[in-house]
Homo-oligomer: A and B are copies of this chain.
Amino acid sequence: MQLSRRVVAGPDGQDARLLARRDLSAAWVDLRTAFRLRSIARGASPERAGAMAALLAPSSTSQALQNGADFHDSVAAVLADPPAEALVAQPELTNALDPVSYRDFMVFEEHFSFGYRWQNRPVPQVMYEIPVSYAGDPLSFIGPNETIPWPWYTQHLDYELELGIVIGRAGTNLRPEEALDHVLGLTILNDVSARDIQAREMGGGLGPSKGKHFACVTGPVITTLDEIPESGLAMTARVNGDVWCATTTAEMVWSIAEMVAWASQGEQLRPGALLGSGTCNGGSSLEIERRLQPGDELELEIECLGVTRNRLGAPGERGWTPRARVRRNGAAETHFLT
């Protein structure tokens, strides 16, 4: 099964509609329409059917997943026999997921080995002991075909081709052998990065933060795990049509089940949470010594998960940067409000 969304115009502006299809070759079904028609067929008034369908299939994929089995059972029911009125031919897809939270791991060895060399340090042993992660900003996500903003404060914008893991069912303290039952499926993830500020702020040992939080892209579909071959998925990045990366998801030091299990220790994983694999091997411009330019077109493709196509924006007007603090007599000047 695949989930996606498309944007439609209405009297109050644009609204996202949830779509689903039974398999990768079936027609897309508009879930709110299908749920509404199903409720009417089951005796609801048109007005109440519309209200219930809007709650069960809201604009937000995360909120829909938080409806639990009421959502999943209804999806299964309408995909088994989709009403013709709910079919959508050739929709233009936007990002399938608006995540409720976002944690990014770093599990591709060739990439992280390169990353530590870039920081002039040896690969820390902890990378082979636990899956290490940081939190990103779930509010900065955009979708396919949107322009990736180029923050004014970076001269070195980069992409990161990653596998996105979408949590479908809440869980805590999971073991790897039960973790996949809590995964809805996979999606493309582009953890857009500003390398210059990232390198500076990571010198402080925290984050990254300003190097990442301005934008992140999720793919056009979430493909459920039952459609995914166990041998892994081919991953490709193209810039202005040239292949910059061709690799596979199979080369991860930690499995999806292990990342999910570790993320869930002592924490509640929620439906709609997104976990990233970290950059795949060769999956950023940094390690192939190339540079992206404003206006470049990125295409990130993962087998079974479609293609995410985005153009890079151009940096805007220069904003404000802090002025370095002077330390005197062993301490920096201090401030409170202003």
Contact = CB atoms under 8 A, between A and B. Distances in A.
Contact of A132 (B177, B207, B232, B332): B207
A279 to B, nearest CB: 12
B140 A106 contact: no
Contacts of A9: none
Of listed A124, A132, A152, A251, residue having the most chain B CB within 10 A: A132
A87 B131 CA distance: 51
A332 B209 contact: no
Interface string A126-160: 11111111111111100000000101111000000
Of listed A116, A135, A214, A327, residue having the most chain B CB within 10 A: A135
Contact of A176 (B121, B320, B327, B332): B320
Contacts of A180: 337-338
B225 A101 contact: no
Q: How large is the interface on A (under 10, 10 to 19, 20 to 34, 35 or more residues)?
A: 35 or more
Interface string A243-279: 0000001111111111001100111101000000000
Given A327-B128, A336-B255, A210 B101 contact: no
Tell me the number of copies of this protein.
2
Given A100-B139, A126-B204, A266-B214, A134 B134 contact: yes
A55 to B, nearest CB: 15
A335 B254 contact: yes
Interface SS of chain A: loop
Given A254-B335, A337-B255, A134 B320 contact: no
Given A109-B331, A250-B336, 20 more contacts: A101-B138, A103-B213, A124-B204, A126-B203, A128-B327, A130-B322, A132-B201, A134-B134, A134-B206, A151-B265, A153-B266, A173-B316, A175-B319, A180-B337, A206-B207, A210-B262, A250-B334, A257-B338, A261-B320, A262-B321
Interface of A: 100-101, 103, 106, 109, 116, 119, 121, 124-140, 149, 151-154, 173-177, 180, 194, 200-210, 213-214, 225, 228, 230-232, 249-258, 261-262, 265-268, 270, 316-317, 319-322, 324-327, 331-338
